[in-house]
Amino acid sequence: MNICMAHRGWSGKAPENTLAAIRLALSHPRINAIEIDVQLTKDGIPVLFHDFHLDRTTNGTGKVVEQDYEQLLRLDTGSWFHPSFAGEKIPTLESVFQLVGDQRMINVELKKGSAGSPGLEKRVVELISQYRLESSVFVTSFHHPLVKNVRSLSDDIRTGLIVEGLPLLIREQLKDAGASILSMSYAYLTKDFVSEMIDSGVSMITWTVDRPSEIERVMGLHPELQIATNHPDRMITLLGRN
């Protein structure tokens, strides 16, 4: 049965990449996995944040990588979504590992803008090892050198490439990066391609599928396809009909 992955936590019901969104995802047993975005602060703390700039989802400005974590803690990252989430803070990756443990699979997406911040991959690998989550946490990125770096740091952590479109030589790219997971936009998926990849041992994730008609379509591509959605409740409803 298809894996339901809560994109940035249950971000249709709570502000993205917050502990509130992750707690909501943990509250439903049919949500199998949680996707989060991680980048490094100026003082080397891995935190959950999607954009490189703070403006869209906080009351702050500037780049995440230019702020110490103590500065980020002063920001409100909930009010933009709804007043009921006022005071929600930017969480650390460690706080997420402490909250989730091995209750769910966690897809840690490394943000490519952090490639200029030394230590992101090393710190993430250290935290996964510290909390012994190698079997339930995997690391993905659009920036493939980050994925290769994770692989060079650990043989125990599964890694994946995120791609836009359908690149040529995708199998060669996976092999070069030492990755066993492929994450793609749902618009480019076909039944033959998905089946070919999964049958050859590559785990596949597709994103970000929110319309019920599209969720239903991609569910039909392959039963092992993992589907990242902002609205897990819509996918859960469809899973209940099958």
pLDDT over 90 percentage in the chain: 93
- Annotation marks residue 53 as catalytic: no
- Which is the catalytic residue, given 7, 144, 222, 231? 7
Choosing from 28, 50, 53, 143, the catalytic residue is 50
- Interval 50-66 mean pLDDT: 96
- In order of start, what are the domains of the chain with their CATH numbers? 3-51+92-241 (3.20.20.190)
Q: How far apart are CA 50 and CA 76, in angstroms?
A: 15
pTM above 0.75, yes or no: yes
Q: Is the pLDDT of residue 216 over 70?
A: yes
pLDDT tens-digit series, residues 89-114: 999 999 999 999 999 999 999 997 65
* 3-state SS, one letter per residue, for the chain: CCEEEEECCCCCCCCCCCHHHHHHHHCCCCCCEEEEEEEECCCCCEEECCCCECCCCCCCCCEHHHCCHHHHCCCCCCCCCCHHHCCCCCCEHHHHHHHHCCCCEEEEEECHHHHHCCCHHHHHHHHHHHCCCCCCEEEEECCHHHHHHHHHHCCCCEEEEEECCCCCCHHHHHHHHCCCEEEEEHHHCCHHHHHHHHHCCCEEEEECCCCHHHHHHHHCCCCCCEEEECCHHHHHHHHHHC
